[in-house]
Amino acid sequence: MMKLEIKEHDSEYWSRVSETIQQFIKDKVKEFNKNGAIIGLSGGIDSAVVAKLAVESLGSDKVKALLLPERDSNKENMNDALTLAKDLNIKDITKVNITGILKKIGTYRIFFPYSLLPKIMKRKLSVIQQRRLEKRGFEKVFLEILRGTDNIDISKIRAYLGSKVRTRMLVTYFYADLLNLLVLGTTNKSELMIGYFIKYGDAGVDIEPIANLYKTEIFDFAKFLKIPDKIINKAPSADLSPGITDESSVGMTYQSIDKILLGIEKGLTDDEISDLTDEKLEDVRYIRELTLYSKHMRELPCSPNLCCVKSNSNFS
């Protein structure tokens, strides 16, 4: 059998994908009777791709860009986001610093105030954080967050990250409701399948334009869309905690993750996926666990089945 690989596509394919997503955005704005769309720009590749597609679909005058920095945000990412918005000729750009909100709810009391450190100490702390995660095991931390645990350290991480992302969502919907705009999500297929998103946070959107593209495909798509190299080449990060990237959080590269996810989608067994990807069997099992423990995050809240409860009423 052939090895499992994410296919490389030519420009003609990406052109069709671009047209399809642009039409999808346009149709949904009309269907939901909105005046346009709003997107939170992070300075990362996913939001850059969606922003470019939205502008191509609706026109720059129908797209609002929202920048939501906070105490621990990377200033360079915010600068990249602002530059991109201006390059796309988006006129309606709003920057809201959410530090005050996060202070009020206690987010910053969970961890040391990183932003107050001098640059050299920030670099050292970043290395220390990485080593601590490595010692515990990146994958164990992420898996425990998804699986649920009473471990206080894991609970603190979960609350720290979740409060930031959900606050972003709250502010985004404030402007969306105020201006009658459609909220555009930026979650890709890889993140969606393994649960690398926050329920009612970055998943709290009206539509997900790139949810059917693996992360490795997003890189190729971004090149086709002529997204700036600086954004394409930076390590993917949710920009929630200094020095922590997507791949360090999950404990694997997107290239490996996507090959395994492709095998899972095709209905292959763990052994088959391992053989066809040359990935370790334990890594395949780990990714499958992530997809299983995050299943509830991709579904509506569950409710009890009351169809079999008998009523004493005479009315049917």
Angle of helix 215-224 relative to helix 11-31, nearest 10 degrees?
100
Cα separation, 115 vs 63, in Å, equals 31
% of the chain beyond a pLDDT of 90 = 76
Cα separation, 13 vs 20, in Å, equals 11
The pLDDT of residue 214 is above 70: yes
As a whole number, mean pLDDT of residues 67-77 equals: 95
The pLDDT of residue 216 is above 80: yes
The Cβ-side half-sphere exposure at 130, using a 13 Å CA radius, reads 13
**Domain segments of the chain: what residues?**
11-111+164-237
CATH of segment(s) 11-111+164-237: 3.40.50.620
E strands, the chain, are: 36-40, 63-67, 92-95, 181-183
Q: What's the pLDDT tens digit per position in 293-316?
A: 999 999 999 999 998 888 776 555
Q: Which of these, 67, 54, 65, 62, lies nearest to 34 by C-alpha position? A: 62
As a whole number, mean pLDDT of residues 3-17 equals: 93
Q: What's the pLDDT tens digit per position in 149-167?
A: 888 888 888 999 999 999 9
As a whole number, mean pLDDT of residues 113-130 equals: 49
Lowest mean pLDDT among 128-137, 220-229, 232-241: 128-137
Lowest mean pLDDT among 15-24, 208-217, 244-253: 244-253
Under 8 Å between Cβ of 94 and 66: yes
- For 50, other C-beta atoms within 10 Å of its C-beta total 27
Q: What's the pLDDT tens digit per position in 97-118?
A: 999 999 999 999 987 555 444 5
Cα separation, 71 vs 113, in Å, equals 8
Q: Cα–Cα distances in Å, from 81 out to 68, 95, 222, 265?
A: 10, 11, 15, 33
Under 8 Å between Cβ of 40 and 47: yes
% of the chain beyond a pLDDT of 70 = 90
The Cβ-side half-sphere exposure at 193, using a 13 Å CA radius, reads 22
Check residue 3 and give its pLDDT.
Answer: 87
Check residue 140 and give its pLDDT.
Answer: 72
Q: What's the pLDDT tens digit per position in 25-39?
A: 999 999 999 999 999
The pLDDT of residue 264 is above 80: yes
As a whole number, mean pLDDT of residues 135-161 equals: 81
**Residues whose CB is less than 8 angstroms from the CB of residue 48 and which lie 6 or more positions away in sequence, other chains included:** 41, 84, 222, 227, 228, 231
Helix ranges, 36-118 (H): 45-58, 75-87, 99-105
Check residue 221 and give its pLDDT.
Answer: 98
Q: What's the pLDDT tens digit per position in 227-237?
A: 999 999 999 99
Check residue 117 and give its pLDDT.
Answer: 46
